[in-house]
Structure 1
Amino acid sequence: MHDNQPPAPYGAQPPYGPQYQPGPYPQAMYGTPPPKPAWFVPAPPGTRYDHLARNPLNAWWRQVVGTLFVAACFFGVAVLVVVAGTVVAVIAGIPVPMAGVQLFGDPVFTLAVTLLSIAGVLPLVYAAVALFQRRPPGTLSSVVGRLRWGWLARCTGVAVAALVLGQGALYVAYAVTGQNTSDLFGWKGWAAFVPGFVVILLLVPFQAAAEEYIFRGWLLQAFGAYVTSPWPGIVLGSAGFTALHAYTDWGILDVFSFGVVMGWLAVKTGGIEAPVAMHVVNNVFAFSLSSAAGDLEDAMRQGSVPWQSLTGTVVQLSVFALGVLWLTKKRAIATVSS
């Protein structure tokens, strides 16, 4: 400072000149701080659906802990929903016998609670993907990272056609073997049918999707994180899916074969859409038949099924698989990540 210049007041800018102005010393000396790593890390391009958990962060404990989390959520949500349903039933004056699958005195209310107890776990499966596998949650749906709604609609159309042909084959099998075909359909009137049908339409899509996202989504991809072949995940996922149901004898083979075909189609089509479409159509039809006949209790009881039912299952699954695979090729549906 010059001797003849008065001191600058506090806060004033000293006349240091431009060469003395403060500069970006931290950036100049140390460089720009590196960006924080992204939480979601996708698998490399060209990855098959069952291998989508094979991102750079893949580790054995992620699949184990994530599977335990999904299992705990599955049973935990079921308990919470049943407890909440019991409270509602007591308030509404609905009997609560808790006898086997007949949880409540009203079969429609029992169906609603049962479906919600499974559907409620769906968002938690997405949470497991995000928290433990640290990949985009949408990759649980397909190789393009989201649920392909247009493709789901087309698969639903094929599922309806396959169901019609499968039921026709079942009717023929009943007629040829002398089984009473009237057992295939009953009608108790609109008053018995409509309440259950409304619950079915509202909740079955979420219940069926939840089961598919667990057994043909999470489990298939968790095994795929270790194993190159999709078949261990398909077979073990189908075994778990079968154990979830209470069918016996021929019904076990029926449900297991359904799971195997759906797991195989998830891999071949690059997503969960085809299995969800088939499962939703199948369950809506099955529950609707029981509602029309006024025996929703039997639908939830499951148990034994006649061997003739396998005829309808073979036709239904074959038509659906062939139709979906043909459409996959015709529509150029993505089967690997991009």
Structure 2
Amino acid sequence: MHQMRGPGHRWWQPLVALLVSSIVAVVGIGLVTGVFAAAGLVTSEEQSMDVLDPMASLSGNLMIAALIPATLLGLRVGFGQGAGRVFSVAGRMRWAWLARCGAVLAPIWAAYLAIAWLADGAEVLGRPEHWVGLLVVSLLTTSLQAAAEEIFMRGGLVQGLGAWVRSPVVALGVTTLLSAALFALAHGSLDVWVLIDLGWMAAVGCWLTWRTGGLEAIIALHVVNNLLVVTLGLLAGGLEQSYVDTGVTSTPLAAGASVAATTLVAAVLLHLARRHGIAPQGWREPALG
């Protein structure tokens, strides 16, 4: 959480980073919107909100992906450090560790989603008309969308604002609360159980980032979750219910199951990180290199 707080830290640096990131994000989103509109692929706001339209889905994922260059450039300009520091203490994405996390997570999370689906009645609905196109778009761009949210929320936001706080432990607590609240609210639903579900995943993401010294573990969890949820929604039907929006609600049982599953996989990833020397022993020490 203190990657950006170097010896020459100045109070205004997070503000510059935020300003640059915002400008780049707006430009990137505008470019994606303009290209899709000019090509006649997404021609109305109503179409852009249609989760069953492959082009709208592609456009939406690419707009979120614009947060990646926005975050990297914002931190580079604001703090004058290598943009790779947002990924990990190694100054880069640790691809082998990311792949290991994904390989371990995929079967565990698939089993959790299968159990949740069976417990909910295992209802099979009709597939959407363009389900093949939606599946291709999901396989090609969902990873970018999920990674972008983590790079911005658990990377740029946490590191940028954490630089304002002198104590690393206090910085962890403050940025975890802020990141969890913003991530949960950004999905649109104000249902308390949905907010708890999303907020807990965000908080766990901050903790894993702190302990492993990088975003790889939470990126892997986010990517695996989104890919499996969308794939299940496409193959079993009910894709519309796979997305969280303003009208989505949940239950104490569903939220509790999600919190338990997220906690379990976090414990598994932390154990794996300690075994491979990614995270230090114990539970309080951050990874520093």
What 5-or-longer segments of structure 2 have no aligned partner?
280-285
User: 1:70 is matched with which residue: 5, 18, 21?
Assistant: 21
Matching residue's letter, 1:221: Q
1:36 corresponds to which residue? Answer: none
Change (3 A) 1:114 1:300: farther
Name the CA distance, whole Å, in 2 between partners of 1:164 and 1:220: 29
What 5-or-longer segments of structure 1 have no aligned partner?
1-49, 175-179
1:234 corresponds to which residue? Answer: 176
Change (3 A) 1:187 1:204: same
Displacement of 1:219 after TM fit? Answer: 1.1
State the identity %: 28
Name the CA distance, whole Å, in 1 between partners of 2:258 and 2:15: 34
2:8 corresponds to which residue? Answer: 57
Moved over 4 A (4+): 293-301
Matching residue's letter, 2:173: W
Name the CA distance, whole Å, in 1 between partners of 2:47 and 2:250: 22
2:204 corresponds to which residue? Answer: 261
2:283 corresponds to which residue? Answer: none
User: 1:148 is matched with which residue: 52, 74, 94?
Assistant: 94
Name the CA distance, whole Å, in 2 between partners of 1:109 and 1:247: 24
Matches for 1:61-100 after TM superposition, within 5 Å: 61-89=12-40, 96-99=43-46
Calculate the TM-score normalised by the size of structure 2: 0.86
Matching residue's letter, 1:290: G
- Whether contact under 8 Å (2:212, 2:273) holds in the other structure is yes
2:263 corresponds to which residue? Answer: 318
2:145 corresponds to which residue? Answer: 207
Name the CA distance, whole Å, in 2 between partners of 1:186 and 1:278: 27
Matches for 1:270-281 after TM superposition, within 5 Å: 270-281=213-224
Displacement of 1:263 after TM fit? Answer: 1.1
Calculate the TM-score normalised by the size of structure 1: 0.74
Query: 2:282 aligned with 1:336, yes or no?
Result: no
Partner of 1:336, secondary structure, is coil
- Whether contact under 8 Å (2:127, 2:237) holds in the other structure is yes
- Whether contact under 8 Å (2:154, 2:215) holds in the other structure is yes
Query: 2:79 aligned with 1:133, yes or no?
Result: yes
- Whether contact under 8 Å (2:75, 2:81) holds in the other structure is yes
2:282 corresponds to which residue? Answer: none
Change (3 A) 1:291 1:167: closer
- Whether contact under 8 Å (2:71, 2:156) holds in the other structure is yes
Partner of 1:52, secondary structure, is coil
Structure richer in helix, relative to its length: 2
- Whether contact under 8 Å (1:162, 1:319) holds in the other structure is no
Q: For the aligned residues, what is the CA RMSD? A: 2.4
Q: Deviations over 1:245-265 (max 9, x none)?
A: 123412222111111111111
Name the CA distance, whole Å, in 2 between partners of 1:235 and 1:71: 22
1:188 corresponds to which residue? Answer: 127
Structure with greater contact order relative to length (CA < 8 Å, sep ≥ 6): 1
Displacement of 1:293 after TM fit? Answer: 4.5
User: 2:248 is matched with which residue: 295, 304, 308?
Assistant: 304
Q: When the two structures are aligned, how many residues end up with a matched partner?
A: 276
